[in-house]
Structure 1
Amino acid sequence: MTVNQSPQELAARAQRAMQEGRYDDAHADLAKLRILAPQDGTIRLMTAYAHRAQGQIDKAKENFEAAIRLQPREISFRGVYADWLSTLGEHEKAIVHFDAILAEQPDHLNAKIDRLLSLARTPGRPAALQELALLADAHPHEFRIANNLALFLREDDRISEAVELSKRVLSRDPVNRRAKHILARSMYESGNPSSKPLEIALAADPDNLELKATLAQAAVEDGRSEDGIAILEDALDKAPDWLEGYGILADMKRQTTGAKGFATRYETALSQRPDWHALRSAYAALASRVEGHERALEILGQGGEDADQDSFIQLAKANSLSELKRFDEAEALFAKLDFESSPEFAKAYLRFLTRTQRFDEVIRIGNGILALDPAGEGTINGDVWPYIAIAMRKLDDPRWAWLEGDRRFIQTHDISSEMPDIEELADTLRKLHVFREQPIAQSVRGGTQTGNILFRNASAPIQTLVNALRNCVREYIDQLPEPDPNHPLLGRPRENFRFSGSWSIRLTEGGFHANHIHTHGDISSAFYVALPQSVQSNVADVDQSGWLMLGEPASELETGLEPIRAIRPEVGRLVLFPSTMWHGTRPFEGGERLTCAFDVRMNSF
């Protein structure tokens, strides 16, 4: 005999099922509840929670919105939904719900804070930061406001303000763990002594791996590379599942001590856990850059039979086979992969199609992949458009002129008059080049690269440079052709911009940049601080030694395409160009080629 259960019993049973991960059972009871109490928004809210836990975003949104329609003045419903929308990156939609909460309760402090945190991820960021500063002053013991404001200031390279704000929080709350973290990272990034703040932050948060990696890097930059390596070794002893840590340690060893033995930690871990496929594919990718693709295939082949069922192992094998021109074997593996599910898959497959000169397919499949991110907010743009550009040029497609041909896409600026102490800048940068070798995963060949975020360094010469560069970037953006929503650069909003990465490169005799692209910016750059005589002399006009080559694809792709423009470096010259454009440099004889480089993201918050 069936016993009818009360709505309260059904709700309790549904709640238990959700807690235990039995979502089908939960949905069955929630469906009954919706029939019994169709006007109860709480039931819709529970249904939204269940769909959210299952990753069913559209169904979760539908039920959150139904709950709010049923009980529009229930601010807790709106608050939960708005917070979740913010985590999805849908900040404008979140703001609508925060505004509705504040219409009901104008003094609701958490809604005010969360609204401003969402607003700071939109073009309204400048106003949001101003309001957060006022709110932090009005509520000096609501440390969430000041801590979030400090994080935003760090992101905007306003590092000294972030430091002062974190110190202010700690003066009122000396045990505030988040403020300690922000202060330590800010002190490190600003170029100030940071070992002690980092140690203090770690004492408060001893399992924080980001802090340990930063402390290791700070030790290297203080000239204590052995200490830095020891810190990472100890971190991996205590957290052997820290996948990223293996790569950080290998790169640090390679850059400080040379190539020998840089990957021993990978090998030890894989000998103990041969079925850790994510670590194996990461090791193979690293080894392919240092020791070649034959070595990468050897590493991948040691993973056992079940490794062949792992999509990232398959991808790594397919990529190495393609680079070794074993195209039939590579194609068989690519055929098993869903290249639309990951930018890494897409990039590898388009590279394979380019190497096999199937340019019509590059354009067709590339456009299909671009449709997965129509707003261009992720890295898909940077992974796909460079290969489409190659295909268009090889096919004499007239659309290439639209994509890369406009002269305004490549601009040079002479800012030497704004940098009267450029030698002081050069000396400052040289002190930051503490490594002996080039980084593993970058384009540098025969030189070194700084490891920190350069433009957050508080030294006067660097900040003078940053101010001059901001003006040039603004001018570059303002001179671009008319907006075009289908274009990777012209489709980006133009109101605001920020530096999404910044670093310095020091090349010595024979050094160069392999041709490459940047996936985390809209605009990329080169600024020349010091140059060898061989680059500045007249003979360079003939052999173009040390010159910047724009539009020339990676040599291993064997496209036969020449640069669309070659630019002679000059001290004080800035070059700006689209991040999706292939670029590299020619080797040079003797001396030092010292540059700064950065990427710009337009309206990226």
Structure 2
Amino acid sequence: MPFQAGLGTGKLAVSKVSASEWRARSHAAEQAGDLNGALEILEEGVAAWPDDAALANSAGNAAMRSRNFDSAIQFFGTAAKLQPRLLEFSLNLAISLSRIARYRDALAVLAPFTKEGFSVARYCSVRALAERGAGNLAEAGAWFEQCLTLDPKHARALHGRARLAMQRGERDAVSRYQQALQVTAGDAELWLGQAQAMAIAGDTAEARKIAELLMQQAPQWLDGLQFLAQLRLAAGEADFTSHYTIAMQRRPQDHNIPAAQCAVLAGLDFNREAAEFARSAREKFPHLERFALLEAVYASAAGENERAQSVWNTISLKNNDERIHLARHQLRRGETDKAAILLDLVLQEDPTSISAWALISVVWRLAGDPREKWLHEQQGLVAFLPLQDAENVLPPAIAQLHRLHDTSAQPLGQSLRGGTQTAALLFDRTEPEFAALRDAIGATIQDYQKALPQSDATNPRICHPVLRYRDVPWHMAGSWSVRLSGGAGDRHASHIHPLGIVSSALYCESPPDAAADLNGDPQAGWLELGRPPPDLGIDLQPITAFPPRPGHLALFPSTLYHGTRPFTQGRRLTVAFDVRPEKEPS
């Protein structure tokens, strides 16, 4: 390394170099712009002084600055182990763990310092962020409040508490963002958060003004561009992504902007338009293979299979996501054997891939493969259960849900086609009606889990994607509500939820009896399980369907495509969530 050139060419007794000298050499390297070299110097220093906690902590800080979070965790862990009662080292370890979403591990590090940390603003802020990441929003709020009691102008706590207020549906979310902006007026994330809070509160005009200002000042900022697209979609604008084109004109070398525009368009089934934007970007950025991949994916989804194939022929597969995209394309072309080979490769490497399981289910059904019965038709995997305590918890929850939907909009990138979906996480909100509903659902899920068949070895190749988790604790994640209106074409497109193992639909209100449907559909408004999405072009009937019966909860493997049939009268109000395992089975 260039920064060791002054050490001479002969062998050097490393132990003669003091810890402070290692630190100084690293600082010089960093000042010269060599972050990696600075970290390598401290790595050598720690090897020479393995019992120096402060030096290990310095190495952890250098690793954080170079965004090498795994190394940071290792060095901070060493420092905390050498001096287990020193709060600073454990705080740094918790911060590094949180940076890679290991929030529960961070909380385990912080827990022994709870009493001492209660009077330290930095501890309270770090603890709050870890609690929020772990899904403990009430605890996160308490720690943010304690931090602000100790330091009323703590910028990170003000921002975190405002974001938490928005996530939990607290009525003072907008004012909390305003308080945070008084301390950090130039923080774009805060301005975006305030605009989002305003939109949730129904003040979409002011929210849009802020979103447009953000786009003018930071046209490359994808979060701001997406929020403006959401507002424009809710306002009924046909060309709700045209501002991406303006942003590209101002930042012509930023390839992330056209990629984001393609994703927004494709998320609402504008696949042909997405493919054209991908083609244009491919011509502009010929050195980037990502746009060839995007054109192939979106052209195939739009039904332009030959165009897509010509692009796929130029792509070398590098990961499972690309293999899954190609398998979808092969299914559209009727090349089920080729798709099966790719999906087998994915599942051998990642047996938890919900997307691959959903597609191989289609392959197996087309082939009459008995493994489909193992995957989806074992007794208990699909259930339609009465919600526990429905008569008490549903009526007050329904009133609150309608209040939320009155200021909600159709989301971007979701399965909803028309209608409205609540923002943030429904069961993280503060209303007691939703807490009672969550508890009733949780009890019903426990009944479902207990009734599942035992995981077995009938498929020696791989473990069942749901039953492998039968005997570990589960939790609800990603909760929301959807309201659809008959006659407006509102529906759910067939889709899956790849981040859970069990998916759901709780019926709160339903359209009139299907016999009253103006189109004469005897299953109008029903939930269908197993019908492939339309873009696959595969005519398979659902394996089952459920009528919209208020007070009943549908639970089924997340590997099953599901959607709803359109209806012509009334409204359909549901609550949904994903179920995830707390841990991997032993």
- Tell me whether the two structures share a fold, i.e. TM-score over 0.5: yes
Quickly name the TM-score band, shorter chain normalised: 0.7 to 0.9
CA distance in 1, matches of 2:515, 2:183: 52
Q: Secondary structure at the residue paired with 1:407?
A: coil
Which of 443, 457, 463 pairs up with 1:471? 443
Q: What is the match of residue 231 of structure 1?
A: 210
TM-score using structure 1 length: 0.80
- In the alignment, the residues of structure 2 paired with residue 68 and residue 44 of structure 1 have an alpha-carbon distance, to the nearest angstrom, of 9
Alpha-carbon distance in 2 for matches of 1:90, 1:537:
60
Distance of 1:537 and 1:77 partners within structure 2: 75
Aligned residue number for residue 524 of structure 1 = 503
Quick one: which of 328, 331, 334 aligns to 1:351? 328
Residues 319-341 of structure 1: per-residue CA shift (max 9 Å, x gap): 23213433232122123334334
* 1:561 and 2:533 aligned: no
Letter in 1 for 2:397: L
Name the counterpart of 2:416.
444
TM-score of the pair, normalised by structure 2: 0.82
What is aligned with 1:514? 493
1:500 corresponding residue in structure 2: 477
State the match for 1:198 in structure 2: 177
The Cα RMSD (Å) is 4.2
Match of 1:305 in 2: 283
> Which residue of structure 2 aligns with residue 482 of structure 1?
455
State the AA in 1 paired with 2:160: I
The CA distance in 1 between the partners of 2:294 and 2:272, in whole Å, is 12
Shift of 1:66: 8.8
Question: Is the aligned partner of 1:151 residue 2:124?
Answer: no
Q: Displacement of 1:243 after TM fit?
A: 2.0
Select which of 379, 393, 398 maps to 2:370: 398
SS at match of 2:490: strand
SS at match of 1:260: coil
Aligned amino acid, residue 170 of structure 1: L
- 1:53-202 matches, cutoff 5 A: 71-76=49-54, 79=57, 101=79, 104-113=82-91, 129=107, 132=110, 135-193=113-171, 194-202=173-181
Question: Which residue in 2 is equivalent to 1:589?
Answer: 568
1:284–1:300 CA contact under 8 A, matched in 2:
yes
**Cα distance, 1:307 vs. partner?**
3.0
- State the alpha-carbon separation in 1 of the partners of residues 81 and 103 from structure 2: 22
Residue from 354, 359, 364 that aligns with 2:341: 364
Q: Go from structure 1 to structure 2 and tell me whether the alpha carbon gap of 1:134 and 1:276 turns closer, same or farther (over 3 Å shift).
A: closer
CA gap 1:156/1:305 in 2 versus in 1, 3 angstroms: closer
Deviation at 1:128, TM superposition (A): 7.0
Partner SS, residue 359 of structure 2: helix
Cα distance in structure 1, aligned partners of 2:101 and 2:238: 48
Determine the structure 2 residue equivalent to 1:21. Answer: none
Name the stretch that deviates more: 584-593 or 203-212: 203-212
| Identical aligned residues as a percent | 27
Q: Give, as a single letter, the amino acid of the residue that structure 2 aligns with 1:464.
A: A
Would you say 1:572 and 2:544 are equivalent positions?
Answer: no
> Shift of the alpha carbon at 1:568?
2.3
Tell me, yes or no, if the aligned pair for 1:354 and 1:557 is still in contact at 8 Å: yes
User: How many residues are aligned here?
Assistant: 565
C-alpha distance in structure 2 between counterparts of 1:320 and 1:125, whole Å: 36
Give the counterpart letter for 2:364 in structure 1.
Answer: M
Secondary structure class of the residue paired with 1:543: coil
Is the 1:500–1:520 Cα contact (8 Å) retained in structure 2? no
Which residue matches 2:243?
Answer: 265
Question: Which residue in 1 is equivalent to 2:383?
Answer: 411
1:300-321 superposed Cα distances (whole Å, 9 cap, x missing partner) = 4444733344323212221232
Residue 582 of structure 1, CA deviation: 0.8
SS in 2 for 1:181: helix
**Alpha-carbon distance in structure 2 between the residues aligned to 1:36 and 1:439:** 63
Q: Is the partner of 2:540 in helix, strand or coil?
A: coil
Compared with structure 1, are the counterparts of its residues 210 and 455 closer, same or farther at alpha carbon in structure 2 (3 Å cutoff)? farther
Read off the aligned partner of 2:121 and give its amino acid letter.
F
TM-aligned CA deviation for residue 258 of structure 1: 0.4
Tell me if 1:424 matches 2:424: no
Q: Which runs of 5+ in 2 are unaligned?
A: none
Q: Where do 5+ consecutive residues of structure 1 fail to align?
A: 1-8, 15-28
Equivalents in 2 of 1:356, 1:458: separation in Å? 49
Counterpart CA distance in 2 for 1:148 and 1:372 is 36
Q: Quick check: 1:284–1:296 contact (8 Å CA) kept in 2? A: yes
Report the equivalent of 1:280.
258
With 471-480 and 214-223 compared, the bigger mean Cα shift is at 471-480
When residues 539 and 109 of structure 1 are mapped into structure 2, their CA distance, relative to the original with a 3 A threshold, is: same
Q: Is 1:323 aligned with 2:293?
A: no
Letter of the aligned partner of 2:546 in structure 1?
I
Alpha-carbon deviations, 1:94-127, whole Å to 9, x = none? 58x7776555333222344456678899999879
Question: Which deviates further from its counterpart, 319-328 or 513-522?
Answer: 319-328
